[in-house]
Amino acid sequence: MSAPQPATTQSIALAAAHLRAGELVAFPTETVYGLGADATNGLAVAAIFEAKGRPRFNPLIVHVSDLAAADVLIEMSNAARRLARSFWPGPLTIVARRRMPSPIADLVTAGLDSLAVRVPAHPIAQSLLRQTGRPLAAPSANRSGHVSPTTAQHVAQDLGDRIAMILDGGPAPLGLESTVVDVTAQVPVLLRPGAIPREEVEHALGASLAEPVAEDAMRPASPGRLASHYAPHARLRLGATDVYEGEALLALGPQPLAHSGPFVNLSPTGDLREAAARLFAALRELDATGAPTIAVMPIPETGLGEAINDRLRRAAAPR
């Protein structure tokens, strides 16, 4: 059970060590408490979804210490630069095209070509980022379906038994999540209203923000409505108990189906966290072989299996 620990030089150093070791640490930001993991470590990112009990893989916000660190990860369009100059560090998240190759684990973006980045202003978040020396993926530190936590005690109630450490920095000053703006299209889109009012964002841009196209554009991992959404060209055949000539095979567990063609085992031990961490990269890899169909072995519906199956069903849906 992790009880909140007051943020001190020592506890922040320990938290950074936990994060570098792939463990989860909750930390205060100016908006709400975040559940942080090393964004370059797919297994650590998978552990976020596991701890939150998320029913599906929503793309996560990556936190970095400054604009230079953001510039490494995303393409900074003129609009992005304007927004960054006006609001960073602070409660604005910019969704932009991801630079490739990317050090960020595929699971962070749920397979999207875009990446959400923000530079938090909170001094404890800043100090943690600098000491960890890695970009940190961090959704709000609550169980899925619960409201976002604005104190370390809220985090402890929700996640205390599931994470390595909770840094206590007192109540989050803003108490409302960051404003999320997507700059991947010609006209920037307000994906999530948040701590910075729309008018201020529009003033900084010198232009109006567009509305999201689909009702659930805030959750682009759902039916693939965003143009940038990654869906394999290959058809997916789920729950496969045999593999046909010419198919690629996405396997799981110690007894993969016998197959001589393209093949990835998501986890030879059947570890669902490992499987989640590899999922999106595996789909890309098998898709790149040009196989018309990917046969997918059954994935248990337990733990992270639910989110893995959700994503696979979406990728398999007719287009």
List residues binding ligand TXA (CB under 6 A).
29, 31-32, 34, 58-61, 91, 93, 95, 109, 112, 114-116, 138-140, 177-178, 180, 182, 191-192, 218-220
* Cβ proximity to ligand TXA, 7 vs 32, nearer residue: 32
Residue 109 interacts, among Mg ion, ligand TXA, none and using kind-specific CB cut-offs from 5 to 8 Å, with ligand TXA
Of 54, 59, 52, nearest to 74 by C-alpha is 59
Cα dihedral: 90, 7, 34, 91 (round 10): -10
Please give the residues from 229 up to 248 whose contact with Mg ion meets the rule CB under 5 A: none
Residue 119 interacts, among Mg ion, ligand TXA, none and using kind-specific CB cut-offs from 5 to 8 Å, with none
Please answer whether residues 3 and 164 qualify as being in contact, where contact means their C-beta atoms are separated by less than 8 angstroms: no
* Cβ proximity to Mg ion, 29 vs 131, nearer residue: 29
Whether a cis peptide bond, with omega within 30° of 0, leads into 212 is no
Please give the residues from 129 up to 168 whose contact with Mg ion meets the rule CB under 5 A: 140
* Cβ proximity to ligand TXA, 41 vs 109, nearer residue: 109
CB of 290 to ligand TXA, least distance (A): 27
* Cβ proximity to ligand TXA, 214 vs 257, nearer residue: 214
* Cβ proximity to ligand TXA, 205 vs 297, nearer residue: 205
Of 206, 200, 226, 166, nearest to 35 by C-alpha is 166
* Cα three-residue angle 159-160-165, rounded to 5 degrees: 105
Residue 272 interacts, among Mg ion, ligand TXA, none and using kind-specific CB cut-offs from 5 to 8 Å, with none
Residue given tokens 């370059």 in the structure block: 40
Give the end-to-end CA distance of the chain in Å, rounded to a whole number.
Answer: 45
Q: Which two tokens stand for residue 122?
A: 């909170």
Strand partners, 192: 180
Residue 34 interacts, among ligand TXA, Mg ion, none and using kind-specific CB cut-offs from 5 to 8 Å, with ligand TXA
DSSP assigned state of 210: B
- Distance of alpha carbon 59 from alpha carbon 238, whole angstroms: 23
- Distance of alpha carbon 156 from alpha carbon 299, whole angstroms: 31
Q: Is 265 in the site for Mg ion (CB under 5 A)?
A: no
* Cβ proximity to ligand TXA, 5 vs 102, nearer residue: 102
DSSP, collapsed to helix, strand or coil, labels residue 5 as strand
Please answer whether residues 78 and 94 qualify as being in contact, where contact means their C-beta atoms are separated by less than 8 angstroms: no
Residue 116 interacts, among Mg ion, ligand TXA, none and using kind-specific CB cut-offs from 5 to 8 Å, with ligand TXA
CB of 148 to ligand TXA, least distance (A): 6
Residue 106 interacts, among Mg ion, ligand TXA, none and using kind-specific CB cut-offs from 5 to 8 Å, with none
- How many residues bind to Mg ion according to rule CB under 5 A? 1
The residues that touch Mg ion, with contacts defined as CB under 5 A, are 140
